[in-house]
């Protein structure tokens, strides 16, 4: 893959590398199992300190996006991860709105719906459900 | 996690007559890093480096290189084996050919790396059978670099290594610095070229008029150094805006320009209390910081 480092955007090089690798993984430019160049090779290519590349790789390894194998470089590990939290919250919020709409049509008032939700959640907490 | 510095100076000073070439320098250079020593011509870079190598005697203070006291003569031989040095005034044996001096130098260093020798000979396009006295300045520089790099030293000290090199030569030099660092050599190089420092260095130590004016990692610089431009109807007192991280405040009419090395957010928060009609924050490069430090001192 191609990298581009910018000295004038006020962002450490290792952060720029991490973002570009993440973006390549999201856009499909990099796929599961793809190999990235070794630390030394990439540092020489970009003419940046090897510590910069090492830091980007090790933080991405920590995030679970890269797997570093001794001597053979870095491999992408894109798993079917759970959808992002924001996405899930948005979907849930749509479901809740639909439900409220439906209950309105059945003649329930906001305060009654509110109590129903509260009671249901309270009940779940009481019985120790998740 | 605090590794021993490869270079450590405490109050290192050098006086020539009444001139302080270097004064009270406290330097810490960490291992496995590329550290740039940035300063204008005549800022004290070469004097510092020569003291570190035991080539001139300090007027005051002390220094350790690879954990060894620099002025102890028993240790200086050991030190010279593990530290390689390239300077602008390097003397090479003029009567030898390129191949001869390589063979000659190799015989002193058991850790000599034949691979590096071969790679650099090719990359630098050095003619093996040419006599050193008939090499151009740039070629001599490249030869000196090859001899230093192929030794696989623990510490490389380079005084203005890019001087006399053309843009391609500089690029090759920086690439070689990177590959040396990735095989475990610590690098300390002086330069007045901000662009090369900004690209390749992990840390930068800035010296001006013999004094250390900045010591920071480039990541820190990119992450935390900001210029904040504010416009006020009623200008607050400068004193009100002074807080940790503020390096400089300048005002012109209704405008205030601040350079901060940290805490940009709290500085802006503080400024908000004075109702600025405009607030602008922008990253600031090594070049502006350097010029600012030079101006200030």
Tell me the per-residue pLDDT of A28-75, one tens digit each, with 9 for 90 and over: 888 888 999 999 999 999 999 999 999 999 999 999 999 988 777 899
Nearest CA in chain B to A53: B182
Quick check: is A5 in a domain? Answer: no
Q: What percent of chain B lies above the pLDDT cut of 90?
A: 72
Same domain, A30 and A56: yes
Same domain, A44 and A90: no
Residue A127's pLDDT is 66
Nearest to B66 by CA among B75, B57, B58: B75
Q: How many inter-chain contacts (A to B, CB under 8 Å) are there?
A: 65
Interface test with B, best of A12, A19, A49 (most B CBs within 10 A): A49
Nearest CA in chain A to B181: A50
Q: Does B201 touch chain A (CB under 8 A)?
A: yes
Same domain, A66 and A95: no
Same domain, A35 and A90: no
Same domain, A22 and A67: yes
For chain A, how many structural domains are there in total?
Answer: 2
Quick check: is A100 in a domain? Answer: yes
Residue A75's pLDDT is 92
Nearest-CB residue to A7 (from B174, B181, B285): B285
Low-confidence ranges of chain B (pLDDT < 70): 1, 72-75, 297
Neighbours of B41 (CB within 10 A): 8
Quick check: is A118 in a domain? Answer: yes
Q: Do A48 and B181 touch (CB under 8 A)?
A: no
A73: enclosing H helix or E strand: strand A73-76
Quick check: is A63 in a domain? Answer: yes
Same domain, A31 and A62: yes
Nearest CA in chain A to B285: A8
Nearest CA in chain A to B203: A49
Q: Does A71 touch chain B (CB under 8 A)?
A: no
Measured CA to CA, the distance from residue A5 to residue A56 in angstroms comes to: 13
Measured CA to CA, the distance from residue B132 to residue B139 in angstroms comes to: 9
Same domain, A72 and A89: no
Q: Do A49 and B202 touch (CB under 8 A)?
A: yes
Q: Do A12 and B179 touch (CB under 8 A)?
A: no
What domains can be seen in chain B, in order of their start residue? 7-220 (3.40.50.300), 225-296 (3.30.70)
Nearest to A36 by CA among A16, A9, A62, A54: A54
B contact residues 272-291, partner A, Cβ 8 Å cutoff? 282-286
Nearest CA in chain B to A15: B219
Same domain, A55 and A28: yes
Quick check: is A95 in a domain? Answer: yes
B contact residues 141-180, partner A, Cβ 8 Å cutoff? 171, 174-175, 178-179
Q: How far is B33 from chain A (nearest CA, A)?
A: 7
Q: Does B199 touch chain A (CB under 8 A)?
A: yes
Q: Does B34 touch chain A (CB under 8 A)?
A: yes
Residue A82's pLDDT is 43
A contact residues 25-54, partner B, Cβ 8 Å cutoff? 39-40, 43-44, 47-52
Nearest to A54 by CA among A33, A74, A72, A24: A74
Q: Do A43 and B284 touch (CB under 8 A)?
A: no
User: What interface predicted TM-score (ipTM) does this complex get?
Assistant: 0.84
Quick check: is A2 in a domain? Answer: no
Quick check: is A96 in a domain? Answer: yes
Q: DSSP E strands: which ranges in chain B?
A: 7-16, 19-29, 34-38, 60-65, 68-69, 83-86, 155-159, 186-191, 203-208, 211-217, 226-231, 246-252, 255-260, 278-283
Any idea what the CATH number is for the domain that residue A61 is in? 1.10.10.10
Residue A83's pLDDT is 47
* Structural domain for A106, as ranges: 85-126
Same domain, A25 and A64: yes
Same domain, A99 and A116: yes
Same domain, A67 and A93: no
Residue B71's pLDDT is 75
Nearest CA in chain A to B200: A48
Same domain, A72 and A109: no
Nearest-CB residue to A39 (from B171, B182, B200): B182
Q: What are phi and psi of A55, to 5 degrees?
A: -70, -45
Quick check: is A7 in a domain? Answer: no
């Amino acid at each position: 893959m191609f990298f581009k480092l910018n000295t004038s955007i006020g962002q450490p090089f290792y952060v720029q590398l991490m973002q570009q690798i993440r973006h390549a993984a999201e856009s499909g430019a990099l796929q599961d199992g793809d190999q990235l160049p070794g630390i030394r090779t990439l540092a020489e290519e970009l003419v940046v300190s090897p510590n910069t590349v090492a830091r980007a790789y090790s933080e991405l390894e920590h995030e679970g996006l890269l797997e570093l194998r001794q001597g053979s470089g870095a491999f992408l590990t894109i798993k079917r991860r759970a959808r992002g939290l924001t996405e899930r919250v948005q979907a849930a919020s749509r479901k809740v709105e639909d439900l409220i709409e439906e209950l309105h049509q059945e003649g329930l008032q906001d305060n009654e719906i509110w109590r129903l939700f509260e009671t249901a959640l309270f009940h779940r907490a009481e019985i120790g459900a998740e | 996690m605090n590794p021993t510095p490869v270079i450590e100076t405490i109050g290192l000073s050098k006086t020539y007559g009444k001139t302080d070439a270097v004064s009270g320098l406290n330097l810490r250079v960490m291992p496995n890093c590329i550290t740039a020593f940035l300063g204008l011509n005549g800022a004290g870079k070469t004097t510092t480096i020569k003291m570190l190598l035991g080539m001139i005697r300090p007027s005051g203070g002390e220094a350790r290189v690879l954990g060894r006291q620099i002025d102890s003569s028993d240790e200086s031989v050991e030190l010279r084996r593990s530290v390689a040095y390239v300077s602008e005034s390097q003397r090479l044996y003029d009567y030898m050919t390129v191949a001869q001096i390589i063979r000659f130098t190799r015989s002193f260093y058991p850790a000599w790396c034949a691979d590096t020798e071969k790679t650099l000979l090719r990359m630098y396009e050095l003619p093996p059978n040419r006599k050193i006295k008939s090499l151009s300045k740039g070629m001599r520089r490249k030869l000196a670099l090859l001899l230093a790099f192929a030794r696989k030293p623990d510490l490389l000290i380079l005084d203005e290594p890019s001087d006399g090199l053309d843009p391609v030569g500089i690029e090759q030099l920086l690439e070689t610095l990177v590959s040396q660092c990735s095989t475990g050599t610590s690098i300390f190089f002086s330069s007045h070229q901000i662009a090369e420092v900004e690209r390749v260095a992990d840390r930068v130590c800035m010296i001006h008029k013999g004094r250390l004016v900045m010591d920071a990692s480039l990541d820190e610089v990119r992450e935390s150094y900001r210029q904040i431009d504010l416009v006020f109807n009623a200008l607050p007192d400068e004193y009100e805006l002074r807080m940790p991280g503020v390096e400089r405040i300048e005002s012109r009419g209704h405008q205030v320009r601040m350079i901060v090395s940290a805490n940009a957010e709290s500085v802006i928060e503080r400024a908000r209390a004075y109702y600025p009609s405009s607030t602008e924050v922008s990253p600031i490069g090594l070049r502006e910081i350097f010029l600012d430090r030079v101006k200030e001192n």
